[in-house]
Each structure stands twice: as structure tokens, then as C-alpha cells.
Structure 1
């Protein structure tokens, strides 16, 4: 199987610029999901997101059918595994938004770079640099601070938090666990993507992975007897937006970057998503960040910025 070599010939955009665009687009996902979750279940939302993405991609993917129809069986197995990871990621993460806040859910699911960095040396033989580990540590610290902001407050210049046991009670805890599982599934998806993406054009790779994910999610929704049709026109508009903006533009940007950049670094940029999501939640949902959330966001920016600095020659 072809992996981790010069990517399939295609018009090349600067991967760092593509990542910036991807972060902005993916940040819209939690907002769009919150706007439709009163009508559609988590599985239905995830299934629509992927099915619509595949339908939109099909005309472009069909032009490259010789590439993806001639792939060896070994490559197809990894692509299938990536699609399953992606389906489970969406199923768990979108479900988490019913039980916990946008910020908590997004922060926990964006612990993905930690798991990618731990797995990459074993699976991809990519060893993160000392600077990457430092940036990752700083970024994850910022994420933890944002998470604590959901249950802690500043009182008389001191941090006041509820008893430790209270973090493991109620619906919020269930939502947080779902978001964390979503992070583990996203890690598997990114590692597989780094292993396979380098030998395929972007269109062929994302079409096949998204198609597997769409099939799995649709089967899940049907078996769970979820409502699939009969939504309001505005809900269908939001679902289409979910497919176009965070999926086709956002996730595909990450997949593009995986053809050129180490998986750990691409995963690290996902830590910027809580910042974008919180800003959008403030503007659209009127959910305003508190002091700890702002502090955590600034620390996340510091961590990503440290890792993004050019290496000294």
C-alpha cells in the first residue's frame, strides 16, 4: 500500500492556509447542530451531514473513478476503517451536545491531538518534536481550563469549584464522556487518514471515507428507528449547511493537510476550534464565555502558536 510519500499530483494550495480555513469552517458545526437538534436526533443529523456531502462530491469523484476503483484491497481496508472511525466520532460527539454545553463538548472532543500524538510514533513512525509536545501540553492545558469553566467560578480572587464527585454526576457528565469517546474516534480517523491520504487525490480519498461513514450512520439511524424525514424547510437548510461548511470545507481541509503535514500537527490545530465555536455561540446563541473560558482560549492560542513557529536552522 502506498503511504507517506509524495502526494498524488494535484493543484497544491499552502497547507497552513488550508488549515486556517478548515478551522473556521469546522467551528460552525456545533452551532448548526444546536439549531437543528430540537427536530432531528444526533444520528439523523450525522447521517444527513455525511450523505449530503457524498451526494455533492459524487460528480467530482466520478471523474476520478479510475483512481479509486483501482485501489488495492489493503488500501480499501484502511479507508473503510477511517470511515467507521468518522461515523462513530460524529455519532458520539453530536449526541454529547444534547447533554453538555457547546464549549465543554468541543473542548473535550478536541483532545484529539493528544491521542494522535501518542499513537503516531507506533502507527505512523512519526515522532513529534519537543516543540510539538510543548505546544500540545500548553494547548491541552488551555482546554482543561475551559472545561473547568463549566463548573468553577472566581470568588474573591480564588477559584471555587464544586466537589470532585459532582463532575461525575448528571447529564453533563454523560455528555462529556460521549465527547471524549468522540475524540478517540477522531484520533483513529486522522491517523488512518495520514497513512492513506498521501497516495490519493483529495477528492478520491474524502469521497470514499465519507461514503463509508454515510452508510454506517444511515444504518445506525434506521436501526435506532430515528425520524429521517418530515422536518421543517429551515432544518433542511441547516443540514445542508452542515454538509457544505464544516464537512466539505472544514474536514476536507484537514484531510488535504494530512497529505503534506504530520498528523500530530494537523490534529493540534483542532484545538483552535473551541475558540471559533465559542465566538460563534456568543454571536448566534447568545452564550457568552466567562473569564476562565477566555483565559483557556488564550492559552490554547499560545500552544498552537508555539508549534507553528518555523524551526531554527
Structure 2
């Protein structure tokens, strides 16, 4: 590793939060939204840079399906932290609608809104059909949809005269990010000179290749003069390694249920996860969770630094699927403490 790579420390870069507004077993979406706002308010106090919510549909454990509405809920209840989508699944929507929604959000909360975009449906095919009414778009026209969306904000990007305007939206400077779990969006983000966010929290094996592609294809733009890559990773932190491993069994069950196609709320942790899965299922879950960081503060600090050494990320976004809300808050607090986020925020301001 070069000296340049060794120089980047976890205390030097921003950390952010990814939230799916989880619905836990025995809980309700109302509970989830209260917990989401509580976490966002704590994250702001602890010095996290941005708070993103993800679009998923027909998933019993996820309450953030109406993503723009939940973003408004969080932005209204906070004052400084950036709030955005991680992401909006653009093929599910008309670009004009997204331009108007995020134009509205930016008008309500100036300078605080991010628009992260993905090209996957964020759901199963039947639900995708219910969302789109037809399936003529499978993501192949994502570049065209993206170009249309960007032109609503900045008509100078349009190939011809704009006959339809986004009101509100037009003329607003809303940062657009491309999200990905493979190389496709990495290359596109690079060619367009846009910031890129990679989903290492469920696609760890593709992380380094995608980041390399992004940096390789990057062309300076009005948005960025050099690449800016954020990487999402699962972090479950607690006072002891044993407690963290126990809390992490909720996340393991979440992915196990995906493997089994069981659509259930987030499950409480268990003492023995090995009693729940067979060897094939264990291997499948561990492959998807391969980059996850689980442990006490010292363990997490060391593993986060190793993760940064490997990825050279400009920002790290933390996902924490933890059943108990107080334990989830504590996990994010530990990360904030070991990375000196409050001191970083004061320096940035």
C-alpha cells in the first residue's frame, strides 16, 4: 500500500447514516418513523454528515417505501444534517415526478437535500409491475431517464428545447448521486462526473472493482473536479464483541429470510444463529455480509480503518440492522466516538 493510502484515516473523512426505517417484529410503521427521526436527531448531534433513506416496496421489514415523504419527516425534525435518498429507484417513477418531489424538498429545506438514484426496482417483479403498470423498462434506459431528470433541474443539459418544466425543481442545485452494487452505475457516474455511492453492505465482492471502474472512467464536470466515492457498510457496535455478535444475528436473520423468500419484519436476536440455517444458507448469507464490521469499539475502529485502507472511500455510510432501538442508537454513537465526528463537524462548519 502506498504512503498516500496509509495517510487517510477514519478520523479524517465524513461518516453518514443509511436507514431503511426498519419495522421490527411486534412493531408498527408508526414506531419505525418515530425511531427514524430519533436516530436522525441523535446522528445530527453526534456529527454524522448525511442521513439517507432507501426505497423498497412490499417488504415487511422496511417502512421507507414512500421515501420522499420520510425524507421530509426527517428534514423537518432536524436542522443541519443533510437528508436524502439512498436511493430513489428511478425506473419506478416518471423523472418529472422525482424532479418535482425533490424540488419541493429542496425548496423546503434549502441546501440540505441529496438525491441518490438507483436503477434496480428495489422489490420483486410483481410489485415492480404494480408500481410501473408495465415492465418495458428493466433499467436499460436508466441513462436516458437520468438525463431527463437532470434536465428538469438544469435545462441547459437538455438536448433540445424543454417543453415541460419542473415547478418546483428547475434552477435548484440538488446534488445527484448514482448508487450501485456492480460496475454499471460506477462507470456511468464516472463518465458523467457525478458522485458515486456503492452498496458494500450487501455486495461486498464487487466493491473494489466498482470503485476502480468509477475512478478509471471519471471525467471532471461542473459537479466534481475529481472522483468522490461513498461506500456503505454494515456496522454493529456494542460494548463487547460478544454483545455485538449477538445483536448482529438480527441482520443475519434478515438476509437468511431473503434467501428463503420469507417476507417478515426484522427479527429479535438469537443466542445461536447456527441453529437456524443450513450450510448452504450460511454460506450465502456470509457472502452477502462479507464486509460487515461487528464488535466492540476497538474492534470496530480497527476494522473500519482496514476497510478505508482497502476502499480509499471519501466517505463511509453506516447501515445498522439492530432490533432494539436503544442498542441501535448506541452502535451509531460508538462509531461517532471512535471517528471523532463531532470534532470533524465543528471543523467543517
TM-score norm. by structure 2 comes to 0.27
Q: Of Structure 1 and Structure 2, which has the larger fraction of its residues in strand?
A: 2
Highest relative contact order (Cα 8 Å, sep 6+), 1 or 2? 1
